[in-house]
């Protein structure tokens, strides 16, 4: 895609002014790094980092049947999500192949806010729109009118609280959200969520305020050694934390059961039937492969698409890879047949004809100690 | 302006005549693109075995950074007669001195002409236009 066709978030100029290297991602021009990817990842683990997520898709499903409708098209049990809580879920096709993975914010049974991936948002919007049936719902794309920022890292609360009025962030639990005044903007959606494996928050507010809030957060977090963080470090951090990325660990051909995402799927009777349920139940009963972690002491970094071998037999492929500053080794995620997906086993990674040994590991590689 | 004692490929390798050999390296621009100014972001350089024959334009090795793998392409065809064995353990040399100490391989060319490659001025234009 030519650069001119890429969409830009409202923070594009701010990123360039900070020296970011901009790259195409999901149809957007986004900052991959401002400084060293490894240093940015370390900063999030030790302090706090600020991310522009203005490329993410954000939908709002409202109306008397909002939760009821979503329960027919997403994997999680939306009617059972407590008010003010967030759940992970997926939209799957009849074969259990994900169109996207989502976060579902339940404001009420009649108002659910949905965060989708940038590149899948239009497909999800169309898919949901075609399946409303007789449900009384309205689905709106809020992506363009809302900015989205994340603060991630152990010092995130300390960095954010000074600019928040009307809420004590200590009261916002993990995967919960509230509405508060942030930088003087009322009714900002503030959630304790993220994609790094660290404590942190995500903020949604009118897009016109993006630059002002971005700068205010960098200033407010200065004492906490805040820094802007690009998508390169975000990818490393999420992989360390064992979180899937659409197009890598999951896609239409890689179902959420084998990806280890059962926690986002409800087979409860009361949820009723939903698109993909029968297929995913069958896979759940007899999975063929499993998503695992791999680590390698060799210098080469696992990369998407590298084949894995058990002796001469090709047995799987790498989904994602990174140099891990937290583990101080090279890591990856990969699918292996269930009989080979045991921690401690060794498989060979093929890098254009050269082999490098990898150890099979359980995911995640990293989990923080939660309070 | 980059050194005008050598020629350049659009894939950011340089080639310099040294007696009857052609010395090959990568430009400061390539290093910057790979590492974004952080030499620690370069993780690996895979060079070929001495004695291998390469064709002009053929991939002779790979260089890997935290975020990507890039091919290394031969500016001329011929036999690889020497490789810089220091590089694999000292990737920082590529950041410090890509023009001299950071050379990668030496080729005994089938045809010693570098006329098919860009001069420094054309390369300068190439990286300004495309980036």
Give yes or no for a contact between B14 and B7, defined as CB atoms under 8 angstroms apart: yes
Best A25, A32, A33 member to test B by mutation, with max B CBs in 10 Å, is A33
| Closest C-alpha to B70, from B6, B3, B9 | B9
CB atoms within 10 A of CB A270: 9
Task: State residue B89's pLDDT score.
Answer: 87
SS3 A100: strand
User: What interhelical angle do A231-240 and A37-46 show, nearest 10?
Assistant: 60
Give the separation between CA A217 and CA A162, rounded to whole angstroms: 9
Produce one character per residue of B5-15: b if its CB has 16 or more CB atoms within 10 Å, e if not. ebbbbeebbbb
Chain B touched by A42 (CB under 8 Å): no
Task: State residue A225's pLDDT score.
Answer: 98
Chain A touched by B67 (CB under 8 Å): yes
Interface of A with B in 52-91 (CB under 8 A): none
Chain B touched by A310 (CB under 8 Å): no
| Residue among B36, B38, B64 whose CB faces A301 most closely | B64
Asked whether the bond before B115 is cis by omega within 30 degrees of 0, the reply is no
* Residues of B with Cβ-Cβ distance to A322 under 8 angstroms: 66
Question: Over the Cα atoms of chain B, what is R_g?
Answer: 14
**Strand A227-228 with A49-52, pairing:** parallel
* Residues of B with Cβ-Cβ distance to A39 under 8 angstroms: 38
Chain B touched by A355 (CB under 8 Å): no
Partner-chain contact A322 B44, CB within 8 Å: no
Residues of chain B above pLDDT 90, percent: 81
* Residues of B with Cβ-Cβ distance to A354 under 8 angstroms: 46
Cα nearest neighbour of B46 on chain A: A300
Residue pairs spanning A and B at CB distance below 8 A: 41
Tokens found for residue A239: 């992989």
Distance from CA of B59 to the nearest CA of A (A): 12
Helix, strand, coil in percent for chain B, rounding step 5: 25, 35, 40
| Residue among A38, A299, A300 whose CB faces B66 most closely | A38
Partner-chain contact B66 A299, CB within 8 Å: no
The single residue listed with the structure tokens 């084998």 is: A258
Distance (Å) of CA B62 to CA A33, A311, A351, B65, B104:
22, 25, 11, 10, 11
Distinct helix (H) and strand (E) counts, chain B: 4, 9
SS3 A323: strand
Chain A touched by B43 (CB under 8 Å): yes
Partner-chain contact A322 B43, CB within 8 Å: no
SS3 A141: strand
Best B33, B63, B66, B70 member to test A by mutation, with max A CBs in 10 Å, is B66
Q: Which has more pLDDT, B69 or A209?
A: A209
Tokens found for residue A116: 């989708």
Average pLDDT, chain B: 93
Q: Tens of pLDDT along chain A (371 residues)?
A: 566 789 999 999 999 999 999 999 999 999 999 999 999 999 999 999 999 999 999 999 999 999 999 999 999 999 999 999 999 999 999 999 999 999 999 999 999 999 999 999 999 999 999 999 999 999 999 999 999 999 999 999 999 999 999 999 999 999 999 999 999 999 999 999 999 999 999 999 999 999 999 999 999 999 999 999 999 999 999 999 999 999 999 999 999 999 999 999 999 999 999 999 999 999 999 999 999 999 997 889 999 999 999 999 999 999 999 999 999 999 999 999 999 999 999 999 999 888 999 999 999 999 987 54
Cα nearest neighbour of B63 on chain A: A300
Chain A touched by B28 (CB under 8 Å): no
Give yes or no for a contact between A105 and A86, defined as CB atoms under 8 angstroms apart: yes
Give yes or no for a contact between A325 and A237, defined as CB atoms under 8 angstroms apart: no
Over 60: is that where the pLDDT of B130 sits?
no
Chain A touched by B71 (CB under 8 Å): no
Backbone phi, then psi, for A265, in 5-degree steps? -130, 130
Over 90: is that where the pLDDT of B68 sits?
no
Task: State residue A293's pLDDT score.
Answer: 98
Cα nearest neighbour of B33 on chain A: A21
CB atoms within 10 A of CB A96: 25
């Amino acid at each position: 895609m030519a650069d001119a066709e890429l969409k830009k978030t409202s923070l594009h100029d701010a990123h360039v002014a900070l020296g970011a290297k901009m790259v195409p991602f999901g149809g957007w021009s986004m900052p991959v790094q401002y400084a060293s990817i490894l240093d940015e990842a370390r900063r999030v683990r030790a302090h706090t980092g600020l991310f522009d997520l203005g490329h993410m898709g954000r939908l709002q499903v409202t109306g008397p049947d909002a939760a009821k409708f979503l329960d027919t098209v997403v994997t999680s049990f939306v009617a059972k999500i407590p008010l003010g809580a967030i759940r992970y879920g997926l939209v799957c096709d009849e074969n259990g192949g994900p169109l996207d993975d989502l976060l579902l914010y339940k404001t009420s049974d009649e108002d659910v806010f949905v965060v989708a991936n940038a590149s899948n948002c239009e497909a999800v919007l169309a898919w949901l729109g075609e399946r409303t049936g007789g449900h009384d719902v309205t689905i709106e794309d809020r992506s363009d009118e809302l900015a989205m920022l994340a603060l991630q890292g152990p010092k995130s609360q300390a960095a954010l609280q000074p600019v928040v009025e009307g809420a004590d962030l200590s009261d916002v639990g993990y995967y919960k959200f509230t509405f508060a005044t942030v930088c003087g903007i009322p009714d900002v959606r503030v959630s304790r969520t993220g994609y790094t494996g660290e404590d942190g928050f995500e903020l949604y507010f009118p897009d016109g305020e993006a630059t002002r809030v971005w700068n205010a957060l960098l200033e407010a977090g200065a004492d906490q050694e805040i820094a802007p963080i690009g998508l390169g470090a975000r990818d490393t951090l999420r992989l360390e934390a064992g979180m899937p990325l659409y197009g890598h660990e999951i896609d239409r051909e890689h179902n959420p059961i084998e990806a280890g995402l059962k926690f986002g799927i409800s087979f409860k009777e009361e949820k009723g039937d939903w698109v993909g349920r029968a297929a995913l139940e069958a896979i759940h009963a007899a999975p063929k492969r499993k998503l695992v972690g791999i680590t390698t002491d060799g210098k080469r970094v696992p990369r998407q698409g590298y084949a894995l071998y058990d002796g001469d037999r090709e047995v799987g492929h790498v989904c994602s890879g990174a140099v891990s500053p937290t583990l101080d080794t090279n890591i990856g995620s990969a699918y292996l047949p269930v009989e080979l997906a045991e921690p401690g086993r060794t498989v060979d990674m093929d890098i254009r004809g050269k082999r490098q040994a990898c150890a099979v590991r359980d995911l995640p590689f990293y989990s923080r100690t939660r309070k | 302006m980059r050194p005008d004692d050598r020629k350049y490929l659009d894939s950011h390798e340089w080639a310099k005549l040294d007696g009857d050999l052609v010395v090959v390296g990568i430009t400061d621009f390539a290093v910057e693109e790979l590492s974004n100014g952080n030499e620690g972001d370069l993780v690996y350089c895979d060079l070929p075995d001495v004695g291998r024959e390469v064709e002009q334009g053929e991939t002779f090795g790979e260089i890997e950074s935290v975020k990507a793998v890039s091919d290394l392409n031969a500016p001329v065809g011929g036999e690889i007669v020497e490789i810089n064995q220091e590089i694999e353990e000292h990737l920082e040399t590529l950041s410090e001195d890509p023009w001299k100490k950071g050379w990668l391989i030496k080729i005994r060319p089938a045809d010693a002409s570098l006329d098919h490659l860009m001069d420094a001025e054309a390369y300068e234009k190439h990286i300004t236009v495309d980036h």
